[in-house]
C-alpha cells in the first residue's frame, strides 16, 4: 500500500515536471517566432552615384552635379527646455534664419522637413551637428506605445537627389543643352533633354549606386571588417570638350555686340582646326540659362549650327567651281560672258549685283557672278553635280557629337539635269544646308582636299580619373590636292581683291567667300536675308576654318558688311588669345 502511494506521487511529480517543461518549450518557441522590434545588430548604408560633368578644354566644369539632402526632425522628441538651443544650433550649421526654423517646427507635432535643398557641404556639417545634439541630450528618449521599447529619434540628414549646375550661366548654350528632373522613390535624378546633355546621356548617367552592409557600432555606423559587404558607387563619365572657356566667352560677348549692331535675329560662328576637326568655338548670340528657361527662350533652345537649315547663296559657288576643276571641265583663266548683269537661262532671268562684261572663270568666284557661275555649271552633268554635292557632305550629318541635326536637302541628279535647277543650285539656291555642313565642306580647301568631321568631344574620364581619348575619323579625300590648293588661292584672292576685303589681316593667310540668300516664307522668297562668310585663317603653324551666319540682319543685306566683320573680329580675338600669330616684320 505504501509502495503504491509512493508510485502515484512519483508519477504525479513526473507529469507536473513534463507539463512545466512543455510550457517552457512553448514559451521559448513563441518568443523565438514572435515578431519583435528589437534594434538590429546590422546597419545598411546606400549612396546614389552622380551624373558626370561636362568639362572645357581648359579644365573648367561647364555642367556639373551636386547632391541634395533634406533635413528631417521629429518634434515630439525635442526636449522643450532645449528647443531654443536646437533652433540656434541648426541655424548656425544650416544658414537658415531662426525665425523660419521656429515657424516650421510650430506647424505640427511629429516629423517635420526643415529643408529640402541642403547642399552637400552643409549636409556634412549637419551630420556632425546630429552627434552634438545627442551629446547635449537635446532629444528625449521616449517609449514607443506599440512596441514598448524606448528610443531616441533626432535630426536626420537624408540624401534626396541631385541638382544639375551650370556655373557659367549661358555659356555654350544651346550646344550644351539642358536637363529635366525625374522623381523615383523620393529621389530626384537627372536626364538630358537637348544638346550634349542629351547626346551623351548614357555616358553621363550614373553607372552604379553604392551599398554597404555590416555590423554596427554604438553610433550606428558600419564596422568595416571581413564580415561587412561594400559595393562602391560609380559615377557617370565626365566628358571633356575641345572648346576652351576663355576663348568661348570672348566669342560669345563679341556676338552679343554684333547682333545689336547688325540688328540681326541671330548671329552664329564656328571656329575649327582645319586639319583635325577640333572645334575651338561654337557660339550663338541667342543663349539661355539652362536652369531658368523662360517662354521667351523657346526659340533659342535649338542648336542653330545644326538645326537651322538655309539656302547658302554664293558660298556654294566655290564648291561648284571645285567640282568643275576636279572634272577638268574648266580652266581658271577661261573667259566667261557676264552679259552686263542680266541674262536669261532656261526659264529664269539671272541677275548680278554688279554688271560684268567678260571675266575669267576664277573671277566669277572672286567677284561673285551668278551669271558666270550658272553658265559654267552647265558643263557638269546632273549626276556629276549631285554626286559632287553628296561627296562634300551635304544632305548628310556633319558631326557625331551633336543631336537633332537637320541635314537639309539637295536636288536629285535628274532634277539637276534641268538648266534652270542646275543654274540656281550652282550659286546656292534650291539647296538647304546648315553651318556645320559648310564647315566640313570648306575644311577641304584648307587641308589639301581632305575633309574632316567637326569634333566637340575630346575624351571621357571615369571615376578613377582614367582618360579615354576619342579617336579621329579618317579625313575624306573629297577633291585632289591640286584642286584644293587652286581653290585656296582663289579664296585668298576673293578676300584680297573681291567681296571679302574686310576680312584682311596683315601677317595671316586669309581666304573665304561671302554669300547672301533670300529667305523663303510661305513658299515665297521675301525681302529678308541670311548672310554668310565661310573661310579660313592660317599662320605658319596653324590652320583654322571659320564660318559665320547672320540671320536676317537689318543693317545690310550684304555679307561683306555683316558676316565678314564678325569673321574679322573673331580672328582678332584669336590673335589676342594666342591661337594665331601674324608673321609681321617689325
pLDDT at 585 over 60: no
Strands annotated E in 17-121: 42-47, 54-55, 61-74, 111-119
Q: What is the band of 150 on the pLDDT scale with cuts at 50, 70, 90?
A: confident
Percent of the chain at pLDDT exceeding 90: 66
Q: Name the grid cell of 59.
A: 579644365
How high is the pLDDT of residue 309?
95
**Residue 286 DSSP one-character state:** -
pLDDT at 42 over 70: no
> For the segment 326-366, what is each residue's pLDDT rounded down to a tens digit?
999 999 999 999 999 999 988 889 999 889 999 999 999 99
Higher pLDDT, 228 or 232: 232
Q: What is the CATH number of domain 42-209?
A: 3.90.1310.10
How high is the pLDDT of residue 38?
44
How high is the pLDDT of residue 36?
47
> For the segment 15-34, what is each residue's pLDDT rounded down to a tens digit?
777 777 777 777 666 655 55
**Residue 474 DSSP one-character state:** P
Distance CA 70, CA 367 (A): 67
For 314, list phi and psi in degrees, rounded to 5: -70, -10
Distance CA 563, CA 551 (A): 10
How high is the pLDDT of residue 586?
41
> For the segment 465-497, what is each residue's pLDDT rounded down to a tens digit?
999 999 999 999 999 999 999 999 999 999 999
Residues near 100 by beta carbon (within 8 Å), at least 6 away in sequence: none
> For the segment 257-314, what is each residue's pLDDT rounded down to a tens digit?
999 999 999 999 999 999 999 999 999 999 999 999 999 999 899 999 999 999 999 9
Tell me the average pLDDT across 25-44.
Answer: 59
Higher pLDDT, 113 or 434: 434
> For the segment 415-436, what is each residue's pLDDT rounded down to a tens digit?
999 999 999 999 999 999 999 9
Q: What is the band of 2 on the pLDDT scale with cuts at 50, 70, 90?
A: low
For 304, list phi and psi in degrees, rounded to 5: -60, -25
pTM attached to this predicted model? 0.84
> For the segment 167-225, what is each residue's pLDDT rounded down to a tens digit?
999 999 999 999 998 888 778 899 999 999 999 999 999 989 877 777 765 555 566 66
Identify the bridge partners of residue 469 per DSSP, sorted by sequence position.
459
Q: Tell me how far apart the terminal alpha carbons of the chain are, to the nearest angstrom.
A: 142
For 455, list phi and psi in degrees, rounded to 5: -130, 125
**Residue 259 C-alpha from the chain's centroid:** 23
**CATH 3.90.1310.10 location in the chain:** 42-209
Distance CA 497, CA 502 (A): 10
How high is the pLDDT of residue 37?
45
Residues near 24 by beta carbon (within 8 Å), at least 6 away in sequence: none
Q: Calculate the dihedral angle through the C-alpha atoms of 491, 492, 493, 495, rounding to the nearest 10 degrees.
A: 90
Pick the CATH number of 245-288+304-461+473-576 from 3.90.45.10, 3.40.630.190, 3.40.710.10, 3.30.70.360: 3.40.710.10
pLDDT at 45 over 70: no
Cβ(532)–Cβ(503) below 8 Å = no
Q: In terms of C-beta distances under 8 Å and separation of at least 24 residues, what long-range contacts does 526-530 make, across chains too?
A: 528/552, 529/553, 529/557, 530/310, 530/311, 530/313
**CATH 3.40.710.10 location in the chain:** 245-288+304-461+473-576
**Residue 54 C-alpha from the chain's centroid:** 7
Percent of the chain at pLDDT exceeding 70: 92
Tell me the chain's radius of gyration from C-alpha atoms. 37
How high is the pLDDT of residue 34?
54
Cβ(475)–Cβ(451) below 8 Å = yes
Tell me the average pLDDT across 550-578.
Answer: 97
Amino acid at each position: 500500500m505504501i509502495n503504491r502511494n509512493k508510485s502515484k506521487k512519483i508519477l504525479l511529480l513526473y507529469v507536473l515536471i513534463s507539463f512545466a517543461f512543455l510550457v517552457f518549450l512553448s514559451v521559448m518557441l513563441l518568443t523565438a517566432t514572435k515578431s519583435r522590434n528589437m534594434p538590429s545588430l546590422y546597419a545598411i548604408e546606400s549612396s546614389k552615384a552622380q551624373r558626370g560633368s561636362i568639362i572645357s578644354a581648359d579644365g573648367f566644369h561647364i555642367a556639373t552635379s551636386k547632391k541634395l539632402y533634406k533635413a528631417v526632425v521629429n518634434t515630439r522628441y525635442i526636449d522643450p527646455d532645449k528647443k531654443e538651443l536646437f533652433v540656434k544650433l541648426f541655424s548656425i550649421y544650416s544658414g537658415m534664419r531662426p525665425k523660419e526654423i521656429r515657424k516650421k517646427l510650430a506647424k505640427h507635432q511629429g516629423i517635420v522637413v526643415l529643408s529640402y535643398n541642403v547642399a552637400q557641404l552643409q549636409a556634412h556639417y549637419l551630420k556632425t551637428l546630429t552627434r552634438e545634439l545627442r551629446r547635449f541630450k537635446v532629444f528625449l528618449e521616449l517609449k514607443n506605445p506599440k512596441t514598448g521599447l524606448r528610443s531616441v529619434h533626432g535630426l536626420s540628414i537624408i540624401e534626396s537627389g541631385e541638382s544639375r549646375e551650370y556655373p557659367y550661366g549661358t555659356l555654350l548654350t544651346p550646344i550644351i543643352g539642358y536637363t529635366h528632373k525625374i522623381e523615383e522613390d523620393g529621389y530626384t535624378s537627372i536626364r538630358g533633354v537637348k544638346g550634349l546633355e542629351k547626346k551623351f546621356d548614357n555616358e553621363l548617367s550614373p553607372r552604379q549606386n553604392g551599398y554597404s552592409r555590416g555590423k554596427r557600432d554604438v553610433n550606428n555606423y558600419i564596422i568595416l571588417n571581413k564580415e561587412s559587404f561594400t559595393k562602391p558607387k560609380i559615377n557617370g563619365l565626365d566628358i571633356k570638350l575641345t572648346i576652351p572657356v576663355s576663348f568661348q566667352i570672348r566669342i560669345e560677348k563679341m556676338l552679343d555686340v554684333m547682333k545689336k549692331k547688325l540688328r540681326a535675329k541671330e548671329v552664329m560662328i564656328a571656329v575649327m582646326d582645319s586639319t583635325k576637326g577640333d572645334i575651338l568655338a561654337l557660339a550663338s548670340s541667342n543663349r539661355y540659362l539652362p536652369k531658368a528657361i523662360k517662354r521667351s527662350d523657346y526659340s533659342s533652345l535649338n542648336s542653330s549650327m545644326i538645326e537651322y537649315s538655309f539656302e547658302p547663296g554664293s558660298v556654294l559657288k566655290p564648291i561648284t567651281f571645285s567640282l568643275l576643276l576636279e572634272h577638268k571641265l574648266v580652266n581658271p583663266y577661261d573667259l566667261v560672258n557676264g552679259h552686263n548683269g542680266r541674262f536669261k537661262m532656261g526659264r529664269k532671268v539671272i541677275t548680278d549685283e554688279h554688271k560684268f562684261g567678260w571675266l575669267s572663270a576664277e573671277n566669277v568666284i572672286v567677284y561673285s557672278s551668278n551669271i558666270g557661275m550658272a553658265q559654267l555649271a552647265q558643263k557638269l552633268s546632273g549626276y556629276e553635280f549631285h554626286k559632287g554635292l553628296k561627296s562634300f557632305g551635304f544632305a548628310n550629318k556633319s558631326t557625331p557629337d551633336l543631336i537633332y541635326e537637320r541635314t537639309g536637302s539637295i536636288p536629285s541628279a535628274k532634277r539637276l539635269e534641268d538648266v534652270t535647277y542646275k543654274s540656281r543650285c550652282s550659286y546656292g539656291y534650291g539647296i538647304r544646308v546648315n553651318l556645320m555642313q559648310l564647315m566640313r565642306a570648306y575644311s577641304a580647301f584648307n587641308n589639301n582636299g581632305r575633309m574632316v568631321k567637326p569634333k566637340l568631344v575630346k575624351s571621357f574620364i571615369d571615376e578613377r580619373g582614367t582618360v579615354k581619348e576619342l579617336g579621329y575619323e579618317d579625313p575624306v579625300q573629297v577633291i585632289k590636292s591640286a584642286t584644293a590648293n587652286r581653290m585656296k588661292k582663289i579664296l585668298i584672292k576673293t578676300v584680297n581683291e573681291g567681296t571679302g576685303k574686310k576680312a584682311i589681316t596683315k601677317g595671316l593667310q586669309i581666304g573665304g567667300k561671302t554669300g547672301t540668300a533670300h529667305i523663303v516664307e510661305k513658299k515665297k522668297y521675301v525681302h529678308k536675308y541670311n548672310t554668310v562668310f565661310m573661310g579660313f585663317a592660317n599662320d605658319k603653324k596653324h590652320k583654322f576654318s571659320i564660318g559665320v551666319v547672320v540671320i536676317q540682319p537689318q543693317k545690310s543685306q550684304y555679307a561683306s558688311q555683316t558676316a565678314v566683320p564678325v569673321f574679322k573680329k573673331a580672328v582678332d580675338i584669336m590673335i589676342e588669345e594666342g591661337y594665331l600669330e601674324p608673321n609681321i616684320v617689325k
